[in-house]
Structure 1
Protein backbone atom coordinates (compact mmCIF):
# COMPACT_ATOMS: atom_id res chain seq x y z
CA UNK A 1 0.00 0.00 0.00
CA UNK A 2 1.34 3.44 -0.95
CA UNK A 3 1.22 4.81 2.62
CA UNK A 4 4.29 2.75 3.44
CA UNK A 5 6.45 4.98 1.23
CA UNK A 6 6.02 8.77 0.95
CA UNK A 7 8.88 9.34 -1.48
CA UNK A 8 7.86 11.22 -4.64
CA UNK A 9 9.78 11.75 -7.87
CA UNK A 10 11.28 15.22 -7.88
CA UNK A 11 9.80 16.27 -11.24
CA UNK A 12 6.25 15.60 -9.96
CA UNK A 13 6.55 17.79 -6.85
CA UNK A 14 4.94 21.21 -6.97
CA UNK A 15 5.70 22.11 -3.35
CA UNK A 16 6.88 20.30 -0.23
CA UNK A 17 6.86 21.03 3.53
CA UNK A 18 7.48 18.81 6.61
CA UNK A 19 3.75 17.93 6.54
CA UNK A 20 2.68 17.70 2.92
CA UNK A 21 3.67 17.32 -0.71
CA UNK A 22 1.78 18.84 -3.63
CA UNK A 23 2.01 16.55 -6.67
CA UNK A 24 1.29 17.38 -10.31
CA UNK A 25 -1.27 15.25 -12.17
CA UNK A 26 -0.85 13.99 -15.73
CA UNK A 27 -0.54 16.95 -18.17
CA UNK A 28 -3.85 16.02 -19.85
CA UNK A 29 -5.61 16.24 -16.48
CA UNK A 30 -4.39 19.67 -15.42
CA UNK A 31 -7.52 21.43 -16.66
CA UNK A 32 -9.54 19.20 -14.30
CA UNK A 33 -7.22 18.43 -11.36
CA UNK A 34 -5.19 21.17 -9.66
CA UNK A 35 -2.94 18.70 -7.84
CA UNK A 36 -2.74 15.63 -5.65
CA UNK A 37 -1.65 16.23 -2.07
CA UNK A 38 -0.18 13.76 0.40
CA UNK A 39 -0.58 15.03 3.99
CA UNK A 40 1.29 13.26 6.78
CA UNK A 41 2.49 13.80 10.37
CA UNK A 42 5.84 15.43 11.02
CA UNK A 43 7.68 12.99 13.37
CA UNK A 44 9.30 15.92 15.18
CA UNK A 45 5.89 17.35 16.05
CA UNK A 46 3.85 14.18 16.67
CA UNK A 47 5.18 13.70 20.19
CA UNK A 48 4.17 17.26 21.12
CA UNK A 49 0.51 16.78 20.12
CA UNK A 50 -2.20 16.87 22.75
CA UNK A 51 -5.93 16.37 22.69
CA UNK A 52 -6.36 20.14 22.41
CA UNK A 53 -6.46 20.48 18.61
CA UNK A 54 -6.90 23.88 17.02
CA UNK A 55 -9.61 24.55 14.44
CA UNK A 56 -8.70 25.31 10.83
CA UNK A 57 -11.14 27.27 8.66
CA UNK A 58 -11.13 26.29 4.97
CA UNK A 59 -11.88 29.14 2.55
CA UNK A 60 -14.42 28.12 -0.15
CA UNK A 61 -13.08 27.76 -3.70
CA UNK A 62 -15.94 26.01 -5.53
CA UNK A 63 -13.74 23.15 -6.66
CA UNK A 64 -14.45 19.90 -4.84
CA UNK A 65 -12.06 17.13 -3.81
CA UNK A 66 -11.77 13.43 -2.99
CA UNK A 67 -9.97 12.47 0.24
CA UNK A 68 -8.39 9.18 1.26
CA UNK A 69 -7.79 9.03 5.03
CA UNK A 70 -5.61 6.26 6.47
CA UNK A 71 -5.78 5.71 10.23
CA UNK A 72 -5.39 2.69 12.51
CA UNK A 73 -4.76 0.35 9.55
CA UNK A 74 -8.02 1.38 7.90
CA UNK A 75 -9.04 4.08 5.45
CA UNK A 76 -12.06 6.04 4.25
CA UNK A 77 -12.78 7.60 0.87
CA UNK A 78 -14.90 10.76 0.92
CA UNK A 79 -16.01 13.30 -1.63
CA UNK A 80 -16.51 17.02 -1.03
CA UNK A 81 -18.58 18.88 -3.60
CA UNK A 82 -17.87 22.45 -4.65
CA UNK A 83 -17.64 24.63 -1.55
CA UNK A 84 -19.24 28.08 -1.28
CA UNK A 85 -19.13 28.36 2.52
CA UNK A 86 -16.29 28.20 5.00
CA UNK A 87 -15.79 24.77 6.55
CA UNK A 88 -14.19 24.32 9.99
CA UNK A 89 -12.07 21.19 10.47
CA UNK A 90 -9.67 20.02 13.18
CA UNK A 91 -6.03 20.85 12.44
CA UNK A 92 -4.87 17.35 13.31
CA UNK A 93 -2.08 17.14 10.75
CA UNK A 94 0.48 15.84 13.25
CA UNK A 95 -1.70 13.08 14.63
CA UNK A 96 -1.40 9.53 13.31
CA UNK A 97 -3.35 10.05 10.11
CA UNK A 98 -2.21 10.14 6.51
CA UNK A 99 -4.38 11.75 3.84
CA UNK A 100 -4.23 11.72 0.07
CA UNK A 101 -6.20 14.55 -1.58
CA UNK A 102 -7.38 14.76 -5.18
CA UNK A 103 -8.00 18.49 -5.56
CA UNK A 104 -10.14 19.42 -8.55
CA UNK A 105 -10.27 22.79 -10.29
CA UNK A 106 -13.71 24.40 -10.73
CA UNK A 107 -15.65 22.18 -13.16
CA UNK A 108 -13.19 19.31 -12.83
CA UNK A 109 -15.47 17.14 -10.73
CA UNK A 110 -18.18 17.44 -13.39
CA UNK A 111 -15.77 16.25 -16.06
CA UNK A 112 -14.88 13.23 -13.91
CA UNK A 113 -18.38 12.22 -12.74
CA UNK A 114 -20.76 13.84 -15.24
CA UNK A 115 -23.03 14.81 -12.32
CA UNK A 116 -24.81 18.17 -12.13
CA UNK A 117 -22.61 20.08 -9.70
CA UNK A 118 -25.36 22.09 -8.01
CA UNK A 119 -26.51 18.72 -6.57
CA UNK A 120 -23.13 18.27 -4.87
CA UNK A 121 -22.56 21.88 -3.80
CA UNK A 122 -21.42 22.10 -0.15
CA UNK A 123 -22.02 18.35 0.26
CA UNK A 124 -19.68 15.90 2.02
CA UNK A 125 -20.39 12.23 1.38
CA UNK A 126 -18.84 8.83 0.64
CA UNK A 127 -17.57 8.44 -2.92
CA UNK A 128 -19.64 5.29 -3.49
CA UNK A 129 -22.81 7.32 -2.83
CA UNK A 130 -21.97 9.44 -5.86
CA UNK A 131 -20.13 7.15 -8.29
CA UNK A 132 -19.77 3.44 -7.45
CA UNK A 133 -17.52 2.71 -10.45
CA UNK A 134 -15.12 5.50 -9.46
CA UNK A 135 -15.18 4.28 -5.85
CA UNK A 136 -14.26 0.71 -6.83
CA UNK A 137 -11.49 1.90 -9.15
CA UNK A 138 -9.95 4.13 -6.47
CA UNK A 139 -10.20 1.41 -3.83
CA UNK A 140 -8.43 -1.03 -6.16
CA UNK A 141 -5.73 1.56 -6.80
CA UNK A 142 -5.04 2.20 -3.13
CA UNK A 143 -4.98 -1.50 -2.28
CA UNK A 144 -2.51 -2.36 -5.04
CA UNK A 145 -0.18 0.65 -5.12
CA UNK A 146 3.40 0.08 -4.00
CA UNK A 147 4.24 3.73 -3.29
CA UNK A 148 3.08 7.29 -3.94
CA UNK A 149 4.42 7.37 -7.51
CA UNK A 150 2.50 4.20 -8.31
CA UNK A 151 -0.65 5.59 -6.66
CA UNK A 152 -0.44 8.84 -8.64
CA UNK A 153 0.05 6.90 -11.89
CA UNK A 154 -2.96 4.70 -11.16
CA UNK A 155 -5.10 7.72 -10.20
CA UNK A 156 -4.08 9.47 -13.43
CA UNK A 157 -5.26 6.50 -15.49
CA UNK A 158 -8.58 6.31 -13.62
CA UNK A 159 -9.34 9.99 -14.17
CA UNK A 160 -8.19 10.01 -17.81
CA UNK A 161 -10.62 7.16 -18.51
CA UNK A 162 -13.41 8.93 -16.61
CA UNK A 163 -12.95 12.17 -18.58
CA UNK A 164 -12.95 10.25 -21.87
CA UNK A 165 -16.05 8.27 -20.84
CA UNK A 166 -18.10 11.24 -19.66
CA UNK A 167 -17.00 13.63 -22.41
CA UNK A 168 -18.59 16.53 -20.51
CA UNK A 169 -16.46 19.47 -21.62
CA UNK A 170 -18.22 22.65 -22.75
CA UNK A 171 -16.54 25.37 -24.82
CA UNK A 172 -18.53 28.22 -23.24
CA UNK A 173 -17.73 27.11 -19.68
CA UNK A 174 -14.05 26.67 -20.54
CA UNK A 175 -13.94 30.16 -22.07
CA UNK A 176 -15.85 31.93 -19.28
CA UNK A 177 -13.85 30.21 -16.51
CA UNK A 178 -10.63 31.32 -18.14
CA UNK A 179 -11.84 34.91 -18.49
CA UNK A 180 -13.08 35.10 -14.90
CA UNK A 181 -9.78 33.77 -13.55
CA UNK A 182 -7.63 35.97 -15.81
CA UNK A 183 -9.59 39.05 -14.71
CA UNK A 184 -9.54 37.91 -11.05
CA UNK A 185 -13.33 37.96 -10.99
CA UNK A 186 -13.96 41.59 -11.94
CA UNK A 187 -15.96 41.04 -15.17
CA UNK A 188 -19.75 41.45 -15.06
CA UNK A 189 -22.00 38.47 -15.89
CA UNK A 190 -23.73 40.55 -18.56
CA UNK A 191 -20.38 41.16 -20.27
CA UNK A 192 -19.37 37.48 -20.03
CA UNK A 193 -22.66 36.30 -21.54
CA UNK A 194 -22.61 38.92 -24.30
CA UNK A 195 -19.11 37.93 -25.42
CA UNK A 196 -20.22 34.26 -25.68
CA UNK A 197 -23.41 35.20 -27.61
CA UNK A 198 -25.69 33.61 -25.02
CA UNK A 199 -28.20 34.97 -22.50
CA UNK A 200 -27.32 35.53 -18.86
CA UNK A 201 -30.02 33.01 -17.97
CA UNK A 202 -28.41 30.33 -20.13
CA UNK A 203 -24.96 31.11 -18.68
CA UNK A 204 -26.41 30.71 -15.17
CA UNK A 205 -27.85 27.30 -16.16
CA UNK A 206 -24.51 26.16 -17.56
CA UNK A 207 -22.65 27.25 -14.41
CA UNK A 208 -25.08 25.42 -12.14
CA UNK A 209 -24.56 22.28 -14.23
CA UNK A 210 -20.78 22.40 -14.61
CA UNK A 211 -19.56 24.47 -11.63
CA UNK A 212 -22.34 24.23 -9.04
CA UNK A 213 -23.12 27.92 -8.56
CA UNK A 214 -23.93 30.93 -10.72
CA UNK A 215 -21.13 32.98 -12.38
CA UNK A 216 -21.69 36.01 -10.15
CA UNK A 217 -21.06 34.00 -6.99
CA UNK A 218 -18.12 32.23 -8.60
CA UNK A 219 -16.56 35.59 -9.52
CA UNK A 220 -16.89 36.73 -5.90
CA UNK A 221 -15.09 33.59 -4.72
CA UNK A 222 -12.31 34.20 -7.23
CA UNK A 223 -11.87 37.81 -6.12
CA UNK A 224 -11.73 36.95 -2.42
CA UNK A 225 -9.32 34.04 -2.92
CA UNK A 226 -7.15 36.29 -5.07
CA UNK A 227 -7.16 38.97 -2.35
CA UNK A 228 -5.94 36.40 0.18
CA UNK A 229 -3.12 35.34 -2.12
CA UNK A 230 -2.13 38.99 -2.59
CA UNK A 231 -2.00 39.54 1.17
CA UNK A 232 0.10 36.40 1.62
CA UNK A 233 2.51 37.26 -1.16
CA UNK A 234 2.92 41.01 -0.73
CA UNK A 235 2.01 41.52 2.92
CA UNK A 236 -0.59 44.20 2.20
CA UNK A 237 -2.00 45.79 5.36
CA UNK A 238 -4.43 48.29 3.85
CA UNK A 239 -7.86 47.06 2.71
CA UNK A 240 -8.42 50.15 0.57
CA UNK A 241 -5.36 49.27 -1.53
CA UNK A 242 -6.64 45.72 -2.05
CA UNK A 243 -10.09 47.05 -2.97
CA UNK A 244 -8.50 49.21 -5.66
CA UNK A 245 -6.35 46.36 -7.01
CA UNK A 246 -9.45 44.13 -7.30
CA UNK A 247 -11.52 46.93 -8.87
CA UNK A 248 -14.10 47.17 -6.09
CA UNK A 249 -16.20 50.33 -6.03
CA UNK A 250 -14.85 51.10 -2.56
CA UNK A 251 -13.34 49.52 0.54
CA UNK A 252 -16.72 48.76 2.15
CA UNK A 253 -17.81 46.63 -0.85
CA UNK A 254 -14.62 44.57 -0.56
CA UNK A 255 -15.05 44.11 3.20
CA UNK A 256 -18.68 43.05 2.68
CA UNK A 257 -17.72 40.39 0.10
CA UNK A 258 -14.85 39.17 2.26
CA UNK A 259 -17.04 38.81 5.35
CA UNK A 260 -19.80 37.07 3.38
CA UNK A 261 -17.38 34.42 2.07
CA UNK A 262 -14.83 34.06 4.88
CA UNK A 263 -17.08 34.73 7.87
CA UNK A 264 -14.69 37.32 9.33
CA UNK A 265 -13.45 40.78 8.42
CA UNK A 266 -10.21 41.11 6.41
CA UNK A 267 -8.43 42.58 9.45
CA UNK A 268 -9.48 39.65 11.64
CA UNK A 269 -8.39 37.20 8.95
CA UNK A 270 -4.94 38.72 8.57
CA UNK A 271 -4.39 38.86 12.34
CA UNK A 272 -5.07 35.10 12.54
CA UNK A 273 -3.95 33.83 9.13
CA UNK A 274 -2.61 30.53 10.48
CA UNK A 275 -6.17 29.60 11.49
CA UNK A 276 -7.29 29.69 7.83
CA UNK A 277 -6.41 27.78 4.67
CA UNK A 278 -7.03 28.60 1.05
CA UNK A 279 -5.76 26.69 -1.96
CA UNK A 280 -2.59 28.36 -3.31
CA UNK A 281 -2.66 26.80 -6.80
CA UNK A 282 -6.24 27.40 -7.94
CA UNK A 283 -6.48 31.19 -8.08
Structure 2
Protein backbone atom coordinates (compact mmCIF):
# COMPACT_ATOMS: atom_id res chain seq x y z
CA UNK A 1 0.00 0.00 0.00
CA UNK A 2 1.18 3.51 -0.84
CA UNK A 3 0.15 4.95 2.53
CA UNK A 4 2.67 2.59 4.16
CA UNK A 5 5.82 4.41 3.16
CA UNK A 6 8.07 1.39 3.71
CA UNK A 7 6.33 -0.25 0.76
CA UNK A 8 6.80 2.74 -1.50
CA UNK A 9 10.03 2.71 -3.50
CA UNK A 10 9.02 5.84 -5.43
CA UNK A 11 9.30 8.02 -2.34
CA UNK A 12 12.28 6.48 -0.57
CA UNK A 13 14.24 9.71 -1.00
CA UNK A 14 11.35 12.18 -1.09
CA UNK A 15 8.95 13.37 1.61
CA UNK A 16 6.90 15.75 -0.50
CA UNK A 17 5.75 15.30 -4.10
CA UNK A 18 3.66 17.61 -6.28
CA UNK A 19 1.85 16.09 -9.27
CA UNK A 20 -0.36 17.88 -11.80
CA UNK A 21 -3.89 16.55 -12.44
CA UNK A 22 -5.36 15.41 -15.74
CA UNK A 23 -5.42 18.29 -18.24
CA UNK A 24 -9.24 18.42 -18.20
CA UNK A 25 -9.05 19.05 -14.44
CA UNK A 26 -6.47 21.85 -14.70
CA UNK A 27 -9.02 24.69 -14.45
CA UNK A 28 -10.20 23.32 -11.08
CA UNK A 29 -7.27 21.49 -9.45
CA UNK A 30 -3.86 23.07 -8.94
CA UNK A 31 -1.91 20.02 -7.79
CA UNK A 32 -1.93 16.75 -5.88
CA UNK A 33 0.42 17.29 -2.94
CA UNK A 34 1.57 13.96 -1.46
CA UNK A 35 3.49 14.07 1.82
CA UNK A 36 5.09 11.50 4.09
CA UNK A 37 5.93 13.75 7.08
CA UNK A 38 9.03 12.83 9.01
CA UNK A 39 9.27 13.64 12.71
CA UNK A 40 9.15 17.41 13.13
CA UNK A 41 9.57 17.85 9.37
CA UNK A 42 7.56 21.07 9.51
CA UNK A 43 8.02 23.98 11.86
CA UNK A 44 5.26 24.28 14.45
CA UNK A 45 4.67 27.75 12.99
CA UNK A 46 4.26 26.43 9.44
CA UNK A 47 1.48 28.56 8.00
CA UNK A 48 -0.62 28.38 4.84
CA UNK A 49 -1.22 31.81 3.34
CA UNK A 50 -4.76 32.48 2.01
CA UNK A 51 -5.21 32.08 -1.75
CA UNK A 52 -9.04 32.11 -2.06
CA UNK A 53 -9.00 28.41 -2.92
CA UNK A 54 -10.16 25.27 -1.15
CA UNK A 55 -8.53 21.91 -0.43
CA UNK A 56 -9.51 18.27 -0.03
CA UNK A 57 -7.33 16.91 2.78
CA UNK A 58 -6.68 13.23 3.58
CA UNK A 59 -4.53 12.35 6.60
CA UNK A 60 -3.53 8.82 7.62
CA UNK A 61 -2.26 8.18 11.16
CA UNK A 62 -1.48 4.47 10.75
CA UNK A 63 -5.01 3.37 11.63
CA UNK A 64 -7.57 5.36 9.67
CA UNK A 65 -7.96 8.15 7.12
CA UNK A 66 -9.27 11.53 8.21
CA UNK A 67 -10.88 13.28 5.24
CA UNK A 68 -11.79 16.95 5.27
CA UNK A 69 -12.96 19.75 3.03
CA UNK A 70 -11.16 23.01 3.67
CA UNK A 71 -13.21 25.93 2.42
CA UNK A 72 -11.75 28.77 0.36
CA UNK A 73 -9.22 30.55 2.53
CA UNK A 74 -9.21 34.22 3.41
CA UNK A 75 -7.28 33.75 6.67
CA UNK A 76 -4.00 32.08 7.56
CA UNK A 77 -4.02 28.44 8.65
CA UNK A 78 -1.23 27.25 11.01
CA UNK A 79 -0.83 23.50 10.41
CA UNK A 80 2.76 22.61 11.39
CA UNK A 81 2.12 20.76 14.65
CA UNK A 82 -0.88 18.90 13.25
CA UNK A 83 0.78 17.78 10.00
CA UNK A 84 3.76 16.28 11.83
CA UNK A 85 1.43 13.80 13.59
CA UNK A 86 0.50 11.88 10.42
CA UNK A 87 2.21 9.12 8.45
CA UNK A 88 0.71 10.20 5.13
CA UNK A 89 -0.99 13.33 3.81
CA UNK A 90 -2.71 13.96 0.52
CA UNK A 91 -3.73 17.54 -0.19
CA UNK A 92 -5.79 18.06 -3.31
CA UNK A 93 -5.05 21.75 -3.76
CA UNK A 94 -7.86 23.37 -5.71
CA UNK A 95 -8.21 26.57 -7.70
CA UNK A 96 -10.94 29.18 -7.17
CA UNK A 97 -14.28 27.56 -8.13
CA UNK A 98 -12.78 24.08 -7.71
CA UNK A 99 -14.76 23.26 -4.59
CA UNK A 100 -18.01 24.26 -6.24
CA UNK A 101 -17.18 22.18 -9.31
CA UNK A 102 -16.92 18.97 -7.28
CA UNK A 103 -19.51 19.60 -4.54
CA UNK A 104 -22.15 21.81 -6.18
CA UNK A 105 -22.70 23.55 -2.83
CA UNK A 106 -22.86 27.32 -2.31
CA UNK A 107 -19.33 28.12 -1.16
CA UNK A 108 -20.26 31.02 1.13
CA UNK A 109 -20.99 28.53 3.93
CA UNK A 110 -17.54 26.91 3.67
CA UNK A 111 -15.21 29.93 3.68
CA UNK A 112 -12.38 29.48 6.22
CA UNK A 113 -13.85 26.35 7.78
CA UNK A 114 -12.79 22.71 7.87
CA UNK A 115 -15.51 20.10 7.73
CA UNK A 116 -15.75 16.32 7.38
CA UNK A 117 -15.90 15.63 3.63
CA UNK A 118 -18.38 12.81 4.17
CA UNK A 119 -20.88 15.30 5.58
CA UNK A 120 -20.70 17.33 2.37
CA UNK A 121 -20.44 14.64 -0.31
CA UNK A 122 -20.55 11.05 0.91
CA UNK A 123 -20.11 9.52 -2.55
CA UNK A 124 -17.01 11.56 -3.37
CA UNK A 125 -15.53 10.91 0.07
CA UNK A 126 -16.04 7.14 -0.18
CA UNK A 127 -14.53 6.97 -3.66
CA UNK A 128 -11.44 8.99 -2.74
CA UNK A 129 -10.78 7.13 0.53
CA UNK A 130 -11.04 3.78 -1.28
CA UNK A 131 -8.52 4.93 -3.87
CA UNK A 132 -6.08 6.08 -1.19
CA UNK A 133 -6.41 2.84 0.77
CA UNK A 134 -5.92 0.59 -2.27
CA UNK A 135 -3.31 2.52 -4.30
CA UNK A 136 -0.12 0.51 -4.73
CA UNK A 137 2.05 3.41 -5.88
CA UNK A 138 1.90 7.10 -6.77
CA UNK A 139 0.88 6.50 -10.38
CA UNK A 140 -1.98 4.26 -9.27
CA UNK A 141 -3.10 6.92 -6.79
CA UNK A 142 -3.02 9.75 -9.32
CA UNK A 143 -4.85 7.72 -11.96
CA UNK A 144 -7.58 6.92 -9.45
CA UNK A 145 -7.86 10.53 -8.32
CA UNK A 146 -8.14 11.75 -11.90
CA UNK A 147 -10.84 9.23 -12.76
CA UNK A 148 -12.87 10.07 -9.66
CA UNK A 149 -12.74 13.83 -10.10
CA UNK A 150 -13.55 13.56 -13.79
CA UNK A 151 -16.65 11.54 -12.92
CA UNK A 152 -17.77 14.13 -10.34
CA UNK A 153 -17.52 17.21 -12.55
CA UNK A 154 -20.56 19.44 -12.75
CA UNK A 155 -21.84 21.47 -15.71
CA UNK A 156 -18.98 23.71 -16.80
CA UNK A 157 -21.01 26.47 -18.50
CA UNK A 158 -21.46 28.80 -15.52
CA UNK A 159 -18.08 27.79 -14.11
CA UNK A 160 -16.45 28.96 -17.36
CA UNK A 161 -18.10 32.35 -16.90
CA UNK A 162 -16.59 32.58 -13.41
CA UNK A 163 -13.18 31.47 -14.63
CA UNK A 164 -13.25 34.33 -17.13
CA UNK A 165 -13.99 36.83 -14.34
CA UNK A 166 -11.18 35.37 -12.22
CA UNK A 167 -8.68 35.62 -15.08
CA UNK A 168 -9.60 39.25 -15.64
CA UNK A 169 -8.92 40.09 -11.99
CA UNK A 170 -5.69 38.08 -12.06
CA UNK A 171 -4.48 39.76 -15.26
CA UNK A 172 -4.94 43.11 -13.50
CA UNK A 173 -2.97 41.88 -10.46
CA UNK A 174 -6.07 42.29 -8.32
CA UNK A 175 -6.34 46.01 -9.02
CA UNK A 176 -9.67 45.87 -10.82
CA UNK A 177 -12.48 47.67 -9.04
CA UNK A 178 -15.87 46.00 -8.99
CA UNK A 179 -17.31 49.00 -10.87
CA UNK A 180 -14.89 48.35 -13.74
CA UNK A 181 -15.66 44.63 -13.72
CA UNK A 182 -19.38 45.36 -13.65
CA UNK A 183 -19.10 47.72 -16.61
CA UNK A 184 -16.94 45.41 -18.73
CA UNK A 185 -18.99 42.26 -18.05
CA UNK A 186 -22.48 43.87 -18.10
CA UNK A 187 -23.33 42.49 -14.67
CA UNK A 188 -24.57 44.53 -11.75
CA UNK A 189 -22.19 44.82 -8.79
CA UNK A 190 -24.73 43.00 -6.65
CA UNK A 191 -24.92 40.11 -9.11
CA UNK A 192 -21.12 39.88 -9.34
CA UNK A 193 -20.83 39.60 -5.56
CA UNK A 194 -23.58 36.97 -5.53
CA UNK A 195 -21.66 34.90 -8.11
CA UNK A 196 -18.39 35.19 -6.20
CA UNK A 197 -20.03 34.16 -2.92
CA UNK A 198 -21.70 31.17 -4.58
CA UNK A 199 -18.76 29.85 -6.61
CA UNK A 200 -15.74 30.97 -4.56
CA UNK A 201 -17.02 31.87 -1.09
CA UNK A 202 -16.21 35.57 -0.81
CA UNK A 203 -17.05 38.89 -2.42
CA UNK A 204 -15.15 40.50 -5.27
CA UNK A 205 -13.32 43.01 -3.06
CA UNK A 206 -11.85 40.40 -0.70
CA UNK A 207 -10.96 38.07 -3.57
CA UNK A 208 -9.13 40.91 -5.34
CA UNK A 209 -7.17 41.81 -2.19
CA UNK A 210 -6.00 38.22 -1.82
CA UNK A 211 -4.90 38.19 -5.47
CA UNK A 212 -2.93 41.43 -4.92
CA UNK A 213 -1.09 40.08 -1.89
CA UNK A 214 -0.30 36.72 -3.49
CA UNK A 215 1.13 38.50 -6.51
CA UNK A 216 3.21 40.69 -4.20
CA UNK A 217 4.56 37.58 -2.46
CA UNK A 218 5.60 36.26 -5.85
CA UNK A 219 7.58 39.46 -6.40
CA UNK A 220 9.15 39.15 -2.95
CA UNK A 221 10.31 35.61 -3.63
CA UNK A 222 11.78 36.41 -7.01
CA UNK A 223 13.31 39.83 -6.43
CA UNK A 224 14.24 39.95 -2.74
CA UNK A 225 13.72 43.72 -3.03
CA UNK A 226 12.76 46.33 -0.46
CA UNK A 227 9.15 46.66 0.66
CA UNK A 228 8.98 50.03 -1.05
CA UNK A 229 9.97 48.64 -4.43
CA UNK A 230 7.80 45.54 -4.04
CA UNK A 231 4.74 47.58 -3.10
CA UNK A 232 5.25 49.72 -6.21
CA UNK A 233 5.75 46.72 -8.47
CA UNK A 234 2.64 45.11 -6.99
CA UNK A 235 0.63 48.18 -7.96
CA UNK A 236 0.40 49.93 -4.59
CA UNK A 237 0.98 53.69 -4.58
CA UNK A 238 1.02 53.86 -0.79
CA UNK A 239 3.49 51.63 1.08
CA UNK A 240 1.48 51.81 4.31
CA UNK A 241 -1.57 50.50 2.43
CA UNK A 242 0.50 47.59 1.14
CA UNK A 243 1.84 46.78 4.63
CA UNK A 244 -1.64 46.90 6.17
CA UNK A 245 -3.10 44.67 3.43
CA UNK A 246 -0.21 42.23 3.74
CA UNK A 247 -0.51 41.96 7.53
CA UNK A 248 -4.27 41.51 7.38
CA UNK A 249 -4.03 38.67 4.84
CA UNK A 250 -0.81 36.97 6.01
CA UNK A 251 -0.89 37.65 9.75
CA UNK A 252 2.56 39.27 9.75
CA UNK A 253 4.11 42.36 8.14
CA UNK A 254 6.22 41.90 4.96
CA UNK A 255 9.53 42.29 6.82
CA UNK A 256 8.71 39.40 9.17
CA UNK A 257 7.57 37.25 6.25
CA UNK A 258 10.88 37.84 4.45
CA UNK A 259 12.85 36.83 7.56
CA UNK A 260 10.86 33.60 8.04
CA UNK A 261 9.82 32.55 4.53
CA UNK A 262 10.40 28.85 5.26
CA UNK A 263 7.60 28.97 7.85
CA UNK A 264 5.04 29.86 5.19
CA UNK A 265 3.41 27.95 2.38
CA UNK A 266 2.31 30.03 -0.56
CA UNK A 267 1.29 29.22 -4.10
CA UNK A 268 1.32 32.24 -6.36
CA UNK A 269 -2.31 32.92 -7.22
CA UNK A 270 -3.77 30.04 -9.20
CA UNK A 271 -5.81 31.36 -12.15
Q: Same fold (TM over 0.5)?
A: yes
> Counterpart of 1:230?
219
> Counterpart of 1:195?
184
Q: How many residues align?
A: 267
- The 1-side partners of 2:117 and 2:152 are apart by 14
Deviations 1:20-52 (A, max 9, x none): 11101000000000000111135xxx4xx59x9
Of residues 30, 37, 43 in structure 2, which corresponds to 1:34? 30
- The 1-side partners of 2:105 and 2:24 are apart by 21
**Alpha carbon RMSD of aligned pairs, Å?**
2.2
- The 2-side partners of 1:83 and 1:91 are apart by 19
- The 1-side partners of 2:98 and 2:16 are apart by 22
| Alpha-carbon distance change, 205 to 170 in structure 1, aligned in 2, over 3 angstroms | same
- The 2-side partners of 1:280 and 1:170 are apart by 21
Structure 1 segment 109-258 matched on structure 2, within 5 A: 109-164=99-154, 167=156, 169-236=158-225, 238-258=226-246
- The 1-side partners of 2:9 and 2:66 are apart by 19
Q: TM-score, normalised by structure 1?
A: 0.87
Q: SS of the counterpart of 1:55?
A: coil
- The 2-side partners of 1:96 and 1:123 are apart by 21
> Counterpart of 2:80?
90
Of residues 247, 253, 257 in structure 2, which corresponds to 1:269? 257
1:100 aligns with 2:103: no
Unaligned 5+ residue runs, structure 1? 9-16
- The 1-side partners of 2:238 and 2:145 are apart by 45
